[in-house]
Amino acid sequence: MARFAPALLLALSAAWCGTLAGGATAAGSVTLALALLGLVAWRGTPWRDPLRLGRLGRWLPPALLAVAVLSAAVSPVPRAGLVGLLLLPAVLGLPGAVARCWRDEATRRVGLRAVSATVAAVALWALLDLTLRQAPRAAIPLGHHNLLALWLVSLLPLALLPAREEGPWRWLGGGAGLLAACALLATRSLLGVAGLGVEVLWWWRASLRRKVLLGLALLLVLLAALQAPRVVAIVQGEDNSARARVAYWQAGLAGFLDRPLLGQGPGAAAWTAARFLAPVRGVHPWGEAVGELHAAPLQLAYELGAPGLLLALGLAGWFAVRRLGELRGAAADPALLRAALAGCAGVGVALLGTAAVTVAALPVALAVALGAALAAGGPGEPEPGGGTVPVRLYAALALLALTPLWAAQGLYERALAAEQEGRRELARERLERALWLDPAFPLYRTRLALLAGTGREERRRAAELARQGAQAGQGVGALWTVAGILGQSAGTPWAPQALATAGALDPLSPFPVWFTLRNDPGAPEAVHRAADALIAEPRLAAAPFWARQPELWTRALGEIRRRPGLDPAWVLAFLDAVPAAGGWTGERHWLALELDTDPASSVSLFVFRRRPWPAEWPVVPLAGDPLARLQKP
């Protein structure tokens, strides 16, 4: 049974509990952690040297773990990476457990057949979903085209290995490789192309059949041809995705330089990156949820500082040196070792363009590839049962620490279900219990604040909860926007500062600047604020607020006429649609602050890795007659 365990873990994580959506659920989080801890505790791992790095190299994993713990202790958001920190020893020990599952040639062959079948099933699923839904790119089951591409890149070399066997199993390897290559082609991922290119170049002299490698090379040429227009656009500076990545990288560098020694803390990028991000209008949407910095080395430096980055790079480099030494020496299975290293090299290149390590299917796939390299390189430690007692003790302690966090996440989802059924009081009770179990998690306080009643005392309590949630989240603009609006509604003295913080974190959003303007329309900056709000959200021109501020209205329109950088056609269309003096009439409508209504920009999903809780909060009244004109194409 142990020989199938790595493939089962791969299938479970890729099909459900390690995906972008499935990993954000309570059931998915619990299942993945139990599977990970269970496999490591069941098979054990050589805990003194889990990656077989030698007498000196074995100190690299504990040193990295120590730096991560120290970084979390001084982090402005220590709660952000708590779960990852608790599971980090299991992730570091997983390759050793995989190697123990494939201790001899017979178990390796059967285990690799299972991996090949898993890769074939995931690739077929992706292609069928692409065909049936007519989506522009293959992304299912992992939830994003780059995630699927990286998963396939890490495992494609292993999936091909049954092709070296005689008999029917070689058709499984060939079929899995073909399906994986087609699915990779369907993702249209530039990162996937780069990773596959490295694998083909590295693996060209492998013992696999040259026909398979020639097919992969031809596929790589086809992928490169399909990506050529985008590469040209990137070089010319016309690709919005590349421009957005440059802004993320600049934010990551600024955050690293802000705390170069120990970084912002494990997991802090999603909660704090907006503090350093300078969004570009037309490239970044307002209210954007920045879940990662789109470059793994940069994110490591941002979160763990220079020592953490150097230790991680040293660990990866020394692992490669040790395995290459075994490849040149007496490796137990040279073909498997070469394939595993090819997968690791492909992922290493692709990680230069993404840092989505919170989507657990990717680290699991990489850990299986690393475990395959350990299994192929040599026998490792002689005692089959060595390392089980310390690992099982760690697993028990990790489960004990994770249980209240999982319970709080489950209560959050039950509160979501209750709110969707119209049982707001029950939803509040469940959120209060979740907050008691996990008081440092910002999202629970903000959601509880949004469920508060309308009485004066309830509004004050809601505002205070929202402020505490925003402070715990540090750099999440949406939380500060909610806190500022609730604080202004409750008349709190800190509301202007909360709105200013929200505006600094999300300068393209209309809501912070609008509520700041409404609170002080006579301020010297009022005209500039009014123009910013109207440019960000033209529907605000239908707000009856302007009827009470005719001079401000006129000056704001003049500011928009003169502001450089705006599309002249848009300015003319906007000025033609705005109401004349006294024209704010008609049925009342509301402009709502939306949270999680768009899955592609869900704050709950991307920033906090929680199930999206769609909410529309009406905050600005609008007059129906001018609104109808403003909404016309």
> Per-residue confidence at 383, pLDDT binned at 50, 70, 90?
very low
Give which of 166, 177, 189, 186 is closest to 215, Cα–Cα: 177
Alpha carbon 447 to its chain's center:
21
- Cα–Cα distance between 476 and 505 in angstroms, integer? 7
Question: Where does 491-588 have alpha helices with state H?
Answer: 495-505, 510-519, 526-536, 550-562, 568-577
Helix (H) or strand (E) holding 592: strand 588-595
- Cα–Cα distance between 144 and 138 in angstroms, integer? 8
Query: Are 418 and 431 in contact, with CB atoms under 8 Å apart?
Result: no
Give which of 399, 378, 377, 395 is closest to 387, Cα–Cα: 395
Residue 582: which region, alpha, beta or left (left: phi > 0; alpha: psi -120 to 50)?
left
Give pLDDT, residue 223: 63
How many other C-beta atoms can be found within 10 angstroms of the C-beta atom of residue 294?
24
The count of residues in the chain is: 633
The token pair at 127 is 């292609």
- Cα–Cα distance between 104 and 112 in angstroms, integer? 12
SS percent in the chain: helix, strand, coil, step 5: 70, 5, 25
SS3 at position 619: strand
DSSP result, 29-76: HHHHHHHHHHHHHHH---TTSTT--HHHHTTHHHHHHHHHHHHHHT-S
Alpha carbon 332 to its chain's center:
37
Instruction: Tell me the sheet residues that pair with 622.
Output: 589
Q: Provide mean pLDDT across the span 160-182.
A: 89
> Per-residue confidence at 406, pLDDT binned at 50, 70, 90?
very high
pLDDT digits (tens, 9 = 90+) for 478-509: 999 999 999 999 999 999 999 999 999 999 99
For the ranges 195-209, 362-376, 440-454, the lowest mean pLDDT is seen at: 195-209
- Please give the mean pLDDT across all residues of the chain: 91
CB burial string 182-193: b at 16+ within 10 A, e below: bbbbbbbbbbbb
Query: Are 262 and 246 in contact, with CB atoms under 8 Å apart?
Result: no
Give pLDDT, residue 28: 97
Give pLDDT, residue 26: 97
What share of the chain in percent tops pLDDT 70? Answer: 92
Residue 493: phi and psi, rounded to 5, are -70, -20
Residues 6+ apart with CB under 8 A from 543: 584, 591, 620, 621, 622, 623
Give pLDDT, residue 207: 46
- Cα–Cα distance between 364 and 122 in angstroms, integer? 15
Question: Where does 356-509 have alpha helices with state H?
Answer: 361-377, 388-420, 424-437, 442-450, 456-473, 477-490, 495-505
Give pLDDT, residue 116: 97
The answer to whether residue 382 scores a pLDDT higher than 90 is: no
Give which of 268, 286, 192 is closest to 230, Cα–Cα: 192
Return the axis-axis angle of helices 145-160 and 105-133, rounded to nearest 10°: 140
Give pLDDT, residue 204: 57
Give which of 150, 123, 157, 99 is closest to 368, Cα–Cα: 99
Output DSSP code: residue 284: B
Give pLDDT, residue 435: 97
Give which of 471, 476, 473, 498 is closest to 486, Cα–Cα: 498
> Per-residue confidence at 240, pLDDT binned at 50, 70, 90?
confident
pLDDT digits (tens, 9 = 90+) for 76-89: 999 999 999 999 99
Give which of 577, 585, 581, 588 is closest to 632, Cα–Cα: 577
For the ranges 215-229, 331-345, 523-537, the lowest mean pLDDT is seen at: 215-229
> Per-residue confidence at 287, pLDDT binned at 50, 70, 90?
confident
For the ranges 237-241, 275-279, 296-300, 486-490, the lowest mean pLDDT is seen at: 237-241
Instruction: Tell me the sheet residues that pair with 284.
Output: 281
Instruction: Tell me the sheet residues that pair with 588.
Output: 623
Give pLDDT, residue 384: 44
The token pair at 511 is 């809501």
- Cα–Cα distance between 149 and 184 in angstroms, integer? 5
Q: CA dihedral defined by 584, 588, 593, 599, rounded to 10 degrees?
A: -120
**Burial group, residue 217, by CB count within 10 angstroms (0-12, 13-18, 19+):** middle
How many other C-beta atoms can be found within 10 angstroms of the C-beta atom of residue 75?
24
How many other C-beta atoms can be found within 10 angstroms of the C-beta atom of residue 631?
12
275 HSE (CA, 13 A, CB side): 20
Whether domain 426-630 has CATH 3.40.190.10: no
465-to-355, 442, 462, 483 alpha-carbon distances in Å: 32, 9, 5, 8
Query: Are 511 and 498 in contact, with CB atoms under 8 Å apart?
Result: no
The answer to whether residue 255 scores a pLDDT higher than 50 is: yes
Spans of all domains in the chain: 2-386, 426-630
> Per-residue confidence at 633, pLDDT binned at 50, 70, 90?
very low
Q: Provide mean pLDDT across the span 4-23.
A: 96
What share of the chain in percent tops pLDDT 90? Answer: 74
> Per-residue confidence at 24, pLDDT binned at 50, 70, 90?
very high
The answer to whether residue 630 scores a pLDDT higher than 90 is: no
SS3 at position 435: helix
Query: Are 75 and 329 in contact, with CB atoms under 8 Å apart?
Result: no
pLDDT digits (tens, 9 = 90+) for 563-615: 998 889 999 999 998 988 778 998 999 999 999 998 888 999 999 999 999 99
- Cα–Cα distance between 77 and 595 in angstroms, integer? 22
Give which of 52, 56, 54 is closest to 93, Cα–Cα: 52
The answer to whether residue 381 scores a pLDDT higher than 60 is: no
